[in-house]
Structure 1
Amino acid sequence: MKNEPVASQGPWIIRNAMWLGTVAIIIAYAAFIEWFWGWLSIFERWQKAGWGAAVLAIVLLLGTYVLRTWRIYDYFSAETKGRFGVLLRLVQVHNLLNVMMPLRTGEASFPLLMRREFDVPLARSTSALLVMRLFDLHALLAAAAVGKALSMYSEGYGGWVWLLWLGFLVLPAIAFRMRGQAVEMAEKILPTGGRGAKLERLVEEAAAGLPADNAAFARAWGATLINWFVKVAVLAWVLVLLCDLDLGAAFGGGLGGELSSVLPVHAPAGVGTYPAGITAGAIAFGASTKASALEALGQAAVNAHLLIIMSSLAGTALSLLVAGRRRT
């Protein structure tokens, strides 16, 4: 009988190892910030900037979550029609899991939630998620390339740098136009027989996860551009308020932080990696590397990261209320 608690303790730890590890990393990060700077000095920057600015920034970030939900609502219009509140809750839970879990493992929740709530096949929702993540990554890289093109143009490289940027910008449209050829090629190389038939159905489901037509593609791509422009602009504005960066460096900081969250490798809750991405992006776009400037930038980056976490938590809480009202 004495062995039963010990026996049950082992599986519980294994089942919750990822969450326990996440909590431990967050606690260690909080302790490091307290030891290195002190949380009081971190929050004092908001006292100088004004807490009203923090509230406004969170409201604007919440707006990007609503736009992100609309993108999926439009993408799966037949399945989600009339259930925007439920979809908003799903998107916010997925976003929170993505923020809190390491190595993009939270992404796996999206197709599972879409199947449970809207009966969308796993292959289709996974394909749609991949397309949307490629949209997100491309939009961020295109935005970052604007800064690089401006720098190269000012150094006398000529207008051809903008032609290169424009070519990169339209890559998603070119890829979408070639989707039919890609599906046909995949079907040709599939084996015949029972296994081939299963793989063919999988290819069909994956193709169904692409935008239905040119108009749907344009809406999804337009929503992506607006979403990331607003989010990066809000982060840049916050960095300007908190550490007196010039706008170009602040823009680079916002891009760096978001790129660190989109790429496959990031820490649980983005602790360490998100502020590091902001710092690296700001320096790449011309921020000062003097000790005092780096200290101010580091503290501002931590505050910007906290803002992202707070907006995710607030968005999840509000989406639960919205979904609850729609069910009654």
Structure 2
Amino acid sequence: MSRKGSLAVSFVILAVFAYFLYEYDVIPRLAQMVRRLHPVYLFLSLLVYCSVYFFRAKRFALLFPQIKTLDLSAVIAVHTFFNNVMPFRSGEASFPIILKKLFGVDASVSSTALTVARLLDLFSLALLFLVSALFVAAGRWELMVIPAVALVAILLFAFLAFKLVKLLKGRFAVFATVFAFLTEFVSLRKVFYMLGLSVAIWVFKFLSFYFILRAAGVNLNYFQTVFASTFAELTTVLPVHSVGGFGTFEAGLVGGFALLGFKGSYALTVAFYFHLLLLLMSGLLAFGGWLYLSRRLR
């Protein structure tokens, strides 16, 4: 799809989303919800969300030991915000661009590292969703089959991708660079360490989500939070991710809430509040990361 076509689809999604906000009278309901927010839970959600960035930085520090964890945290803060607001996952490009500009990392190497991280993220997300489904949707085997199949598919994809890179390394220079990086820095021991960090990333991210919901008086337990918000997280990796994720993120979250018995208007209001607060926290951390990185450019 062309750039203009992608933007057109994004704005159509936004228009449809705006219609549903109006149809379900979400804005007045949101205003009431905001007035009743619990500041302690908001602070806890931000604090835990910061720890997610630290774990992400530690994971990349295993692949780029020459870059400080604090520097990587700032890069990840900016990269995550761009990913959240730009359509069709185009914000992913900010990661190799920043690493190339500030630290001289080859774009093919940083893109490979990002792909490895994304595969570990998907594996960890599927694993936690499977665990949450055991607690939340016991007896609904179709909900447990999906993450189980996803786990196998991710492992198969990673294996085939490595074999393909190995096969093509003698024909294309970029694959030779990628293969050299994988064999030098991505050992089996390191992969398991990175997987542990990836699981920690999602455990703490969902804990932040739990506090976001508690701040608004939404009394879901931790596993219910994991179960519902996984559907929203999956929309962020799909090629239909709209501008700011508005509409697509809410659709996923409303779907998860619906499986827990939430009614339409309330589910949409909570989902919109959830998304706005998540973007606000992401924006605050990105601003701090941008200020930190700006000092490095001087």
TM-score band by shorter chain is 0.7 to 0.9
Which amino acid letter does the alignment assign opposite residue 322 of structure 1?
Y
Measure the CA separation in 2 of the matches of 1:208 and 1:66: 27
Q: Would you say the 8 A contact 1:65–1:315 is kept in 2?
A: no
Report the equivalent of 1:253: 228
1:42-75, CA deviations, whole angstroms, 9 ceiling, x for partnerless residues?
Answer: 1322433413322321222122122212222222
1:134-158, CA deviations, whole angstroms, 9 ceiling, x for partnerless residues?
Answer: 1112211222222334567x5498x
Report the equivalent of 1:282: 257
Return the offset for 1:22. 7.2
Percentage of matched positions with identical amino acids: 21
Pick the aligned partner of 1:297 from 242, 261, 267. 267
Q: Would you say the 8 A contact 1:125–1:209 is kept in 2?
A: no
Q: Would you say the 8 A contact 2:88–2:240 is kept in 1?
A: yes
Pick the aligned partner of 2:85 from 97, 100, 105. 100
Measure the CA separation in 1 of the matches of 2:91 and 2:45: 25
Return the offset for 1:182. 4.4
SS of residue matched to 2:77: helix
Pick the aligned partner of 1:307 from 260, 277, 282. 277
Q: Would you say the 8 A contact 1:75–1:220 is kept in 2?
A: no
Measure the CA separation in 1 of the matches of 2:274 and 2:209: 7
Structure 2, unaligned stretches of length 5 or more?
none
- CA separation of 1:197/1:59 partners in 2, compared to 1, >3 Å: closer, same or farther? same
Which amino acid letter does the alignment assign opposite residue 212 of structure 1?
V
Pairing of 1:51-66 with structure 2 (within 5 A): 51-66=39-54
Report the equivalent of 1:7: none
Work out the number of aligned pairs and report it. Answer: 291
SS of residue matched to 2:261: coil
RMSD between aligned residues: 3.9
Q: Aligned pair 1:225/2:199, yes or no?
A: yes
1:89-128, CA deviations, whole angstroms, 9 ceiling, x for partnerless residues?
Answer: 3222221111111111111222222211211112211111
Q: Aligned pair 1:242/2:227, yes or no?
A: no
- CA separation of 1:148/1:55 partners in 2, compared to 1, >3 Å: closer, same or farther? closer
Q: Would you say the 8 A contact 1:46–1:54 is kept in 2?
A: no
Report the equivalent of 2:60: 72
Q: Would you say the 8 A contact 1:236–1:250 is kept in 2?
A: yes
Q: Would you say the 8 A contact 2:100–2:106 is kept in 1?
A: yes
- Higher radius of gyration, 1 or 2: 1
Pairing of 1:121-270 with structure 2 (within 5 A): 121-150=106-135, 154-155=138-139, 165=148, 168=151, 172=155, 182-183=162-163, 187-188=166-167, 190=168, 197-199=170-172, 201-210=173-182, 211-242=185-216, 244-247=218-221, 248-270=223-245
